[in-house]
């Protein structure tokens, strides 16, 4: 991340949302501002989809309405997150540059009338998007209301890949840089298979739909290239802005944990502040766990620094199969979970519900029902609650557990023709994360090649692609005293999706003390019993040959009957566990309790649905307690609840309630 720190001049938790006043007559704006004041809004994102209004024809600008908006917000003391409108170029742009449209994998050219339709590799798009960013920076870069730049909107959504001729040319350029010679490329892609050897660079292209499965190494590189191409678009806009406006931080709204196509480990060095959007899976009755995962992942991408929750929803969204509304108190529980996990800004999509367009059924801070509604009163009371939290700003979250997270591995695993369609990296990550969440252990996410020395326990639920460098990193971690838990179908391939020389798990063989000789996936619905009371796996088993590990549990039946199911290997000062079948979050305790003991970790002893996180400040520590259960819960820590002002040695958290407690005693 850049060095500009937090939003300049902001010393309170930021609160607000996307504000699209261009959808309303200007008479409404005064009411908006008055209601924002009532709700405690102090930051709004504007201009995200306003290109067609700001530049109605190429090179012709109309800033009148935006100038007036800037002044109105400024006079009300509301800061501005200024969007560059480049996620939605105007109709004139596509009319002039039909070649800039996205081409999908099956060859369809995407039409106008939506958003996200421009190819990241189009030179015309690059030129037009950097130009509008520069013009905006010139006009508003020194305005005192400007707090942060919000470049584009959600890179990678709705489309992350483009298969146009311009993309094919850019992909070739990217490959030439990566491999330098065709021989290297042929070897990395294994083109001896199915007669694909290339003799001319011009013949190398994008992995469009073909007769059968397309070369997986080519597809993996195309996923890398596509993420990089989007990143280049961001960097180009950022640099155009920075040249005019060097002192205001520049960010873009990520979708950590929900958009699989962008490798955010690479993006973090390019943004000044990390910002994230998160929407609940509405139908999941325990969707607070997925929310916590996304927030922890965002904080990890932000290298532990405070981050902005740029968007979430006050109630239902409009784009899921069933847009279940949030129930009373859920808006606050969600917001404080993000805040507890490091967010110093709590923002929504959007301020006022749209009457027209594709998102008219999406909730908003000010819903169609207006100020008499439940949602509005919860929005106001959240704003009031946040007002008393200035001292929390900048405090940090610490974790002793890390889950490995690598987009490249996920891209590779998601390709076709895997040993079982029931293998899902995300399902495994969710299950392990859920277990840790219920055990009230705070989790970071880490790239497998990152420094892991701060952690006592590292969990690898889905490390299908694991480089030799990452394996060496894990070995060092274990030898140095760490505890490692590895799930099945890990360390199978290298960075080119080629099976490791030496076979499955080869780079981790000495760490795990075993080898996997053959995959033994299970039939749909088939279950296998383990030699531990009541523990049953499904989806997967391995034929394991031990090479030093001890057997914690074996399979009682199924194709691997009599063979190891869960193992533990001592290496140096640490230990490494291997789990060769799918256990659900309940059953994972049999593995993780053992790993906690090895790691010297203690799981929380509160009720399972009491979410507890700590933030550590310069002068005090804060405990954020969110009760997702139906019974009140007592906190085992004394302090002052900054939301209610109550003090006590053991504060009660009502069912559905939230506490943010400044703990008694000095900061640790
Ligand atoms: C986000 C997007 C917003 C809005 C929102 C609706 O992904 O950035 O513009 O569409 O979804 O949930």
Pocket test for ligand 1, best of 158, 252, 277 (most atoms within 8 A of CB): 277
Cα separations (Å) of 467 from 65, 83, 337, 498, 535?
53, 38, 34, 11, 32
Report the chain's terminal Cα–Cα distance, integer Å.
26
- Site to probe by mutation for ligand 1, drawn from 160, 275, 359, 365 as the one with most ligand atoms within 8 Å of Cβ, is 359
Q: How far, in Å, is the centroid of ligand 1 from the Cα of 333?
A: 20
234 pLDDT tier (thresholds 50, 70, 90) = very high
Residue nearest to atom 4 of ligand 1 (CA): 349
Q: Show the beta-strand stretches assigned E in 364-494.
A: 401-404, 443-446, 457-460, 483-487
From-to residues of CATH 3.20.20.80 in the chain: 14-161+225-392
Dist. CA 341 → ligand 1 center (Å): 22
For residue 349, the CA-to-ligand 1 centroid distance in Å is 6
CB half-sphere exposure, 161, CA atoms < 13 A: 22
pLDDT category at 3 given cuts 50, 70, 90 is very low
Dihedral Cα 575, 580, 586, 588, nearest 10 deg: 0
In DSSP notation, 208-223 reads ---SS---HHHHHHHH
556 tagged catalytic: no
DSSP code for 410: H
Report the distance separating Cα 193 and Cα 216, nearest Å.
11
For the chain, residues classed under CATH 3.40.50.880 are 401-599
- Alpha carbon 151 to its chain centroid, in Å, reads 17
Strand, helix or coil at 273? coil
Query: What is the whole-number distance in angstroms between the Cα of residue 508 and the centre of ligand 1?
Result: 41
Cβ partners under 8 Å of residue 275, min gap 6: 150, 251, 252, 253, 254, 307, 308, 309, 310, 345
Distance from C-alpha of 373 to C-alpha of 389, rounded to nearest angstrom: 26
Q: Alpha-carbon dihedral of residues 365, 371, 377, 381, nearest 10 degrees?
A: 70
Output the pLDDT for position 605. Answer: 87
- The pLDDT value given to residue 162: 98
CATH 2.60.40.1180 segments of the chain: 610-663
Q: Which atom of ligand 1 is nearest to the CA of 279?
A: 12
Cβ neighbors of 406 (< 8 A, separation 6 or more) are 265, 447, 448, 463, 465, 470
Q: What CATH homologous superfamily does 610-663 map to?
A: Golgi alpha-mannosidase II (2.60.40.1180)
Structure tokens of 326? 């949030």
Indicate yes or no: pTM above 0.95.
Answer: yes
The minimum-distance atom of ligand 1 relative to the CA of 154 is 8
| Strand pairing category for 639-641 and 610-616 | unpaired
Q: Catalytic site residue 154?
A: yes
Atom of ligand 1 nearest to the CA of 49: 9
Averaged pLDDT, 113-117: 90
Catalytic residue among 55, 154, 330, 408: 154
Q: What is the CA radius of gyration of the chain?
A: 26
pLDDT by residue (tens digit) across 519-572?
999 999 999 999 998 999 999 999 999 999 999 999 999 999 999 999 999 999
CA distance 169 to 172: 5
Query: If you take atom 11 of ligand 1, which residue's CA is the nearest one?
Result: 349
Q: What is the pLDDT of residue 373?
A: 98
The pLDDT of residue 443 is 98
Is the link from the previous residue into 356 a cis peptide, with omega within 30 of 0?
no
Q: How far apart are CA 121 and CA 162, in angstroms?
A: 8
Cβ < 6 Å from ligand 1: which residues? 153-154, 277, 279, 311, 317, 349, 359, 362
Active-site residue, selected from the candidate residues 311, 330, 495, 611 = 311
Q: Token pair for residue 33?
A: 């501002």
Q: Are strands 542-546 and 550-554 parallel, antiparallel or unpaired?
A: unpaired
Q: Are 455 and 402 in contact (CB under 8 A)?
A: yes
CATH architecture of the domain 401-599 equals: 3-Layer(aba) Sandwich (3.40)
Give distance in angstroms: CA of 448 to centre of ligand 1. 31
Q: Which atom of ligand 1 is nearest to the CA of 313?
A: 12
Q: What pLDDT digit, counting tens, does each position of 385-400 carry?
A: 999 999 999 999 999 9
- pLDDT tens-digit series, residues 274-299: 999 999 999 999 999 999 999 999 99
Mutation test residue for ligand 1: of 20, 259, 311, 323, the one with most atoms within 8 Å of CB: 311
Cα gap 231→275, rounded to integer Å: 15
Alpha-carbon gap, residue 449 to 462, rounded angstroms = 14
3-class DSSP assignment, residue 243: helix
Residues whose CB falls within 8 Å of the CB of residue 632, separated by 6 or more in sequence, listed in order: 652, 653, 654, 655, 657
Neighbouring-strand partners of residue 118: 101
422 three-class SS: coil
What's the pLDDT band for 2 if we cut at 50, 70, 90?
Answer: low
Q: How far apart are CA 637 and CA 227, in angstroms?
A: 45
Residue 16 CA, ligand 1 centroid: distance in Å: 15
| Those residues with Cβ within 8 angstroms of residue 195's Cβ, 6 or more apart along the chain or in another chain | none
- The pair of three-digit structure tokens given for residue 350, joined into one six-digit string: 């959007």
Residue 109 predicted with pLDDT over 60:
yes
Q: Rounded distance, CA 296 to CA 146, Å?
A: 28
- The full DSSP string for 59-93 is TB---HHHHHHHHHHHHTT-EEEEEP-TTS--HHH
**Atom 5 (ligand 1) nearest CA:** 349
pLDDT at 117: 86
Which of 3.40.50.920, 3.90.600.10, 3.30.428.10, 3.20.20.80 is the CATH number of 14-161+225-392? 3.20.20.80
Q: Is the CB of residue 582 less than 8 Å from the CB of residue 428?
A: yes
* Coil, strand or helix at 641: strand
């Amino acid at each position: 991340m850049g060095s500009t720190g937090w939003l300049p001049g902001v010393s309170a938790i930021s609160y607000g949302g996307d504000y699209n006043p261009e959808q309303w007559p200007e008479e409404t704006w005064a009411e908006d501002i008055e209601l924002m004041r009532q709700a405690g809004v102090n930051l709004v994102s504007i201009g995200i989809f306003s290109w067609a209004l700001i530049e109605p024809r190429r090179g012709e600008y109309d800033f009148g309405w935006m100038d007036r908006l800037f002044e109105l917000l400024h006079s009300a003391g509301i800061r501005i997150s200024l969007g560059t409108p480049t996620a939605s170029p105007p109709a004139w742009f596509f009319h002039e540059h039909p070649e800039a449209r996205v081409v999908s994998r099956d060859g369809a050219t995407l039409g106008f009338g939506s958003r996200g339709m421009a190819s990241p590799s189009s030179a015309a798009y690059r030129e037009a998007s950097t130009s509008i960013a520069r013009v905006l920076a010139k006009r508003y870069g020194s305005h005192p209301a400007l707090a942060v730049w919000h470049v584009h909107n959600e890179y990678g959504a709705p489309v992350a890949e483009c298969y146009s001729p311009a993309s094919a040319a850019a992909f070739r350029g990217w490959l030439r840089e990566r491999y330098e010679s065709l021989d290297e490329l042929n070897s990395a892609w294994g083109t001896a298979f199915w007669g694909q050897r290339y003799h001319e660079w011009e013949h190398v292209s994008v992995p469009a739909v073909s007769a059968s499965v397309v070369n997986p190494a080519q597809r993996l590189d195309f996923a890398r290239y596509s993420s990089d191409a989007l990143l280049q678009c961001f960097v180009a806009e950022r640099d155009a802005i920075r040249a005019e406006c060097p002192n205001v931080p520049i960010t873009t709204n990520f979708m950590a944990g929900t958009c699989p196509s962008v490798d955010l480990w690479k993006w973090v060095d390019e943004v000044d502040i990390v910002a994230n959007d998160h929407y609940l899976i509405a139908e999941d009755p325990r969707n607070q766990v997925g929310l916590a995962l996304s927030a922890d992942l965002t904080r990890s991408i932000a290298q532990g620094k405070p981050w902005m929750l740029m968007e979430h929803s006050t109630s239902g969204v409009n784009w899921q199969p069933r847009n279940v509304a949030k129930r009373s108190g859920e808006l606050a529980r969600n917001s404080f979970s993000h805040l507890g996990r490091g967010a110093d800004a709590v923002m929504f999509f959007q301020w006022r519900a749209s009457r027209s367009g594709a998102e008219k059924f999406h909730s908003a801070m000010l819903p169609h029902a207006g100020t008499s509604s439940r949602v509005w009163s919860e929005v106001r009371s959240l704003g009031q609650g946040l007002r008393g939290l200035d001292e929390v700003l900048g405090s940090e979250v610490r974790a002793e557990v890390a889950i490995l997270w690598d987009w490249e591995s996920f891209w590779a695993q998601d390709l076709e023709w895997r040993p079982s369609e029931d293998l899902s990296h995300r399902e495994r990550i969710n299950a392990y994360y859920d277990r840790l969440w219920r055990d009230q252990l705070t989790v970071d996410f880490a790239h497998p090649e990152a420094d892991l020395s701060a952690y006592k326990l590292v969990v690898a639920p889905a490390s299908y692609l694991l480089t030799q460098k990452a394996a060496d990193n894990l070995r060092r971690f274990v030898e140095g005293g760490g505890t490692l838990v590895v799930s099945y179908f890990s360390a199978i391939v290298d960075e080119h999706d080629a099976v490791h020389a030496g076979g499955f798990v080869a780079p981790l063989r000495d760490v795990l003390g075993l080898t996997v000789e053959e995959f033994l996936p299970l039939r749909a619905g088939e279950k296998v019993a383990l030699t531990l009371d009541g523990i049953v796996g499904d989806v997967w088993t391995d034929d394991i040959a031990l090479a030093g590990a001890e057997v914690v549990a074996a399979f009682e039946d199924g194709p691997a009957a009599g063979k190891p199911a869960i193992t533990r290997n001592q290496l140096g000062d640490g230990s490494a566990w291997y789990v060769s079948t799918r256990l659900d979050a309940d059953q994972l305790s049999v593995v993780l309790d053992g790993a906690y003991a090895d790691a010297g970790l203690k799981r929380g002893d509160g009720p399972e649905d009491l979410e507890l996180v700590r933030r550590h400040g310069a002068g005090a520590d804060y405990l954020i307690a969110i009760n997702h259960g139906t019974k009140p819960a007592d906190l085992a820590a004394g302090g002052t609840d900054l939301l209610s002002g109550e003090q006590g040695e053991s504060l009660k958290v009502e069912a559905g309630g939230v506490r943010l407690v400044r703990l008694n005693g000095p900061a640790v």
